[in-house]
């Protein structure tokens, strides 16, 4: 049974449909990249997946059950989301931010125990942010903040991880570290990953499958070789690209002609 199963979902904020009959299924331990031009419905699709919004038509199934029939806590124990940015109005410390990831696992009034602190520390070690665990979140650089937010998502111990442009602020080293961590988590702990990105090469190199959205519709889904063709990209993005294969792993490589 697929862990994520979108069945013909449509959604509109006003009159214009943002998602229009999108269907796809994703098995556990797979990595899916969602790409598409601005306004193609990528972020709204993520909101459908994590039950922030519910489809107007169609069904969104998580682990075989309609997302409307999950409680908030159940969803948060199964699925974590890394937002692009987080407001830093009040001065929380980095470790406090990551500790919040333990919320769905504890009661409302409870204090975190030894186990929670261990999980939080491990998550922070994985994203290389232990060094500033004791610093204020709002003093950190954008990349450092992003690593804290990724650690918070990992502290939720999810089965599904959703990422919204989560690598944009990371430097090369941390981007590489993060992507190899994702692949390892997916291999070892069967973590399912869905990431939204504008970087088609990032998608080509790291995803098992790519979903290409265009005007709220599923334009193509499949392996990177199937989806990332010069013809598809010309039609969806209206740019000319050259596509060859990466000499290291044979995956498609997209070069923008300007």
Q: Which residues of the chain form contacts with other proteins (CB under 8 A)?
A: 50, 52, 71-73, 75-77, 79-81, 83, 86-93, 95-97, 100-101, 103-104, 106, 108-111, 117, 133-136, 138-139, 141-142, 156
What is d(CA 228, CA 232) in angstroms, rounded to the nearest whole number? 7
**Burial letters 216-231, b for 16+ CB under 10 A, else e:** bbbbbbeebeebbbee
Strand partners, 253: 244
Tokens of 48: 């459908």
Looking up tokens 């650089």, which residue turns up?
141
Least distance (Å) from other proteins to the CB of residue 24?
21
Least distance (Å) from other proteins to the CB of residue 243?
36
- Asked whether 243 and 256 are in contact (CB, 8 A), the reply is no
Least distance (Å) from other proteins to the CB of residue 171?
13
Least distance (Å) from other proteins to the CB of residue 149?
9
Looking up tokens 């049974």, which residue turns up?
1
Q: What is the signed CA dihedral for 216, 220, 210, 155, rounded to 10 degrees? A: 30
What is d(CA 44, CA 216) in angstroms, rounded to the nearest whole number? 9
- Asked whether 75 and 92 are in contact (CB, 8 A), the reply is no
> Which CB, 50 or 127, lies closer to other proteins?
50
Least distance (Å) from other proteins to the CB of residue 236?
28
Backbone angles phi and psi of 170, in degrees to 5: -80, 145
> Which CB, 35 or 82, lies closer to other proteins?
82
Least distance (Å) from other proteins to the CB of residue 127?
17
- Asked whether 174 and 13 are in contact (CB, 8 A), the reply is no
- Asked whether 116 and 105 are in contact (CB, 8 A), the reply is yes
> Which CB, 89 or 188, lies closer to other proteins?
89
Least distance (Å) from other proteins to the CB of residue 180?
25
């Amino acid at each position: 049974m697929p862990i994520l199963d979108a069945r013909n979902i449509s959604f509109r904020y006003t009159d214009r449909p943002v998602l229009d009959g999108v269907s796809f299924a994703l098995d556990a331990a797979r990595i899916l990249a969602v790409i598409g031009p601005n306004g193609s419905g990528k972020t709204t699709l993520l909101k459908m997946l994590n039950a922030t919004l519910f489809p107007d038509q169609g069904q969104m199934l998580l682990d075989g059950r309609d997302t409307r029939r999950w409680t908030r806590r159940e969803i948060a124990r199964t699925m974590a989301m890394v937002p692009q940015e987080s407001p830093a109005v009040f001065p929380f410390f980095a470790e406090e931010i990551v500790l919040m990831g333990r919320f769905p696992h504890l009661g409302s009034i409870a204090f975190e125990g030894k186990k929670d602190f261990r999980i939080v520390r491990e998550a922070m070690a994985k994203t290389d942010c232990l060094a500033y665990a004791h610093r204020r979140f709002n003093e950190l650089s954008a990349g450092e903040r992003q690593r804290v937010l990724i650690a918070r998502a990992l502290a939720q111990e999810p089965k599904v991880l959703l990422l919204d442009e989560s690598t944009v602020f990371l430097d090369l080293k941390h981007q590489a570290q993060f992507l190899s961590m994702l692949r390892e988590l997916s291999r070892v702990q069967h973590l399912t990953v869905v990431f939204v990105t504008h970087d088609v090469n990032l998608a080509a190199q790291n995803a098992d499958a790519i979903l290409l959205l265009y005007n709220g519709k599923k334009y193509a889904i499949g392996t990177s070789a199937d989806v990332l063709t010069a013809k598809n990209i010309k039609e969806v993005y209206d740019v000319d690209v050259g596509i060859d294969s990466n000499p290291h792993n044979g995956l498609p490589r997209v070069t923008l002609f300007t």
